[in-house]
Amino acid sequence: MPRIILLCALALFGTTALAAPASAAPAALFSDPVYDYTTAIRETVYVDTTLDNDGNGTPDRVVADIIRPREAATAGVKVPVIMDASPYYQCCGRGNESEKKVYAADGTVTKFPLYYDNYFVPRGYAYIAADLAGTSRSTGCEDVGGTEEVQGAKAVVDWLNGRAVGRTASGTVVTASAWATGKVGMIGKSWDGTIANAVAATGVPGLETIVPISAISSWYDYNRVNGMVNPKVSSVPSLHSTVNGRPSGTCTAVSSALSSGAVSNGNYNSFWNARNYAISAASVHASVFVVHGMNDLNVQGVHFGQWWDALAANNVPRKIWLSQEGHVDPFDFRRAAWVDTLHRWFDFWLLGIDNGIMTEPMADVERAADVWQTSAQWPPSATTTVNYVLQGTGNPGVLASSGAGSGSLSLTDAPSLSEANAVSSPTTSRTGRRVYQTPVLTSAVRVAGTPTITLRVRSSKATTTLTAKLVAYGTATRVNYRASGEGISTLTTQSCWGSSSSTDDACYRDTAKVVSSAAQQVISRGWMDGQHRDSLTTTTAMNTSTFYTITFKLRPIDQVIAAGQRLGVVLTLSDPEFVSNHSTGATVTFDLAGSVLKLPIAPADGLAAQSLTAAPVVVDDEWSTTAGTRFQ
């Protein structure tokens, strides 16, 4: 029925309804830009929620700024909605160019950030940029991943389906039944993508699909790391303060509750459990298109990994793109292919156009700058777990895929040891680290999934940090995700994606990949606090005379270590760049016979992938290790 409606609408305005894009199969269909963007209806609706966490005695209201095709409304043609719910529309901006909403005198939006409105409104969609509760013009108080935030965004979906009340600025009740089909797709990067995950986890009817980009699936795993604090990211109270749009004093109680709930220790508690969306994956009825940078040091790979696994366990329709960049939107690392794929994804799930996208490969994985490989499923079929054992105490030791581990070693904590020094020059003896390497690989090895490591250890202190880093050793040109742009550089040229108006253009600066030649690259990392070895909710001191067998996960990846390189694992204790520096000065003895690295190894055939884009590349002379990360 949505496809028939679309065809009728397009025929009404005298243009070719559907055509096949060059990148799609000959029989594929997609929506054309037949509606006038410049005359589109722009309006603001204040949606009532069921909450009142600012305590003013009235329901908190979420602002939904809407743009939709006027011709469709005139013809009585209902349209689906693409929505980006964000806390950033006024405080910080969206996208690579940090665009903010711009308002007319009557309060309607004259400029929407990003290209979603420019591109999709002419193609028969409405677009909503919703302010999360307590941000910009919405009331309530932002509770950073909590009930207020999630239920506020959900209320907009409910309003579009007639289950919530919406009002104009003057208080007049308005409905969406005359123009909205009720089908909604949520999209967004970082916090925006996180809220898409969260709303999907409520199982709200009408939410047909989500596209979470670099998104959090559990706030504990964003702010904490297996019992330790993540120093690379902002605290929950700080995030609240950054995006808070309410008058001074309005949200003091909520801010205090955030500080007490997100206690400074590493324990998992009810506060974090309420912000864990992966545990509610069974309630997800929307399809999910996951996009994530494997080298994202802000919203790290644990988020896409555990979310993906939970979705798979519940048979949720899904697709995934994994890139070599850091915290970067696909619009800025694979623009043309991304817009085309996103277009067909929304057409399929929101307009019901049978364009074949769900029969295409499930996964696209970037191997090197702009070199992509597809997989029919992810992790790939025939992926098996291979045990790598640690042998010897030489410099370096041997990482072997057969035989047994042997020997023992002692490491004394070296809290000033940087990651760069921990992983470089593997044949050099350095205090506080030990390197284990495979022999030179005679064929490529593909690690696709979540590595785990088991260490049998005895600590001289009641606790200690345990750190493991998976490293590809061998000089190669790689995407430099540690540079300031996290793998991209913004150029002076522009390209346009959609229709423009006098106040809102569809043109954005082009980007190029930033690459560097480096002798090694850390491809996955993992950490564990010794006193949290058995539980994240409570601590148990380590007996200094007892060996403990401790297993923890590294970040999920899909990386290829090429023939001629070596695969290595680097063991250290403290790692203050990535986890809170609570060095105890421990000396840890490792029983190598009881230690093993387990890697998900996928078939390595077909790795000579073709470049799918002609995007330019910027070459750095140095591999930067000092760049910070950004949440947005």
CA distance 177 to 221: 39
CA distance 466 to 477: 30
Catalytic (active site) residue 32: no
Q: Can you read off the two tokens belonging to residue 308?
A: 């993906």
Give the per-residue pLDDT at 7: 34
Instruction: For residue 280, report the phi and psi dihedrals to the nearest 5 degrees.
Output: -110, 20
Q: Can you read off the two tokens belonging to residue 538?
A: 């409570």
Give the per-residue pLDDT at 29: 79
**Would the pLDDT of 30 be above 70?**
yes
CA distance 67 to 179: 12
Catalytic (active site) residue 190: yes
**DSSP letter string over 34-76?**
-S-STT-EEEEEEEE-S--TT-SSS--EEEEEEEE-HHHHHHT
Give the per-residue pLDDT at 393: 83
Give the per-residue pLDDT at 394: 83
Categorize the per-residue pLDDT at 11 as very low, low, confident or very high, splitting at 50, 70 and 90: very low
Catalytic (active site) residue 418: no
Angle subtended at Cα 201 by Cα 199 and Cα 207, rounded to the nearest 5 degrees: 55
| CB neighbours of residue 452 within 10 Å | 17
pTM of the complete model beyond 0.85: yes
The dihedral sign for the CA sequence 106, 107, 111, 117 = negative
User: In 376-472, where does DSSP find H-type helix?
Assistant: 419-423
Per-residue pLDDT, averaged over 373-380, amounts to: 96
**Would the pLDDT of 4 be above 60?**
no
- Residue found by looking up tokens 């970067």 in the block: 328
Amino acid at 73: A
Per-residue pLDDT, averaged over 278-291, amounts to: 98
CA distance 443 to 433: 28
pLDDT tens-digit profile of 102-126? 999 999 999 999 999 999 999 999 9
pLDDT tens-digit profile of 605-631? 755 443 344 445 565 444 433 333 344
- Of residues 54, 131, 221, 296, which has the active-site annotation? 296
Give the per-residue pLDDT at 616: 56
- Of residues 303, 327, 343, 532, which has the active-site annotation? 327
Give the per-residue pLDDT at 494: 97
Beta strand ranges found along 258-316 (DSSP E): 287-293
pLDDT tens-digit profile of 209-257? 999 999 999 999 999 999 999 999 999 999 999 999 999 999 999 999 9
Please state whether the peptide bond connecting residue 231 to the residue before it is cis, i.e. omega within 30 degrees of 0. no
The dihedral sign for the CA sequence 132, 137, 141, 142 = positive
Instruction: For residue 38, report the phi and psi dihedrals to the nearest 5 degrees.
Output: -70, -25
Map out the domains of the chain with their CATH numbers: 33-305 (3.40.50.1820), 384-619 (2.60.120.260)
Q: Which residue, 141, 168, 133, is CA-closest to 56?
A: 141
Q: Can you read off the two tokens belonging to residue 71?
A: 């011709």
- Of residues 136, 190, 214, 516, which has the active-site annotation? 190
| CB neighbours of residue 416 within 10 Å | 12
Give the per-residue pLDDT at 604: 83
**Would the pLDDT of 193 be above 60?**
yes
- Residue found by looking up tokens 């919703």 in the block: 130
Give the per-residue pLDDT at 629: 38
Give the per-residue pLDDT at 632: 60
Please, how many CA atoms are within 13 Å of residue 323, restricted to the half-sphere of its CB? Answer: 29
CA distance 101 to 87: 12
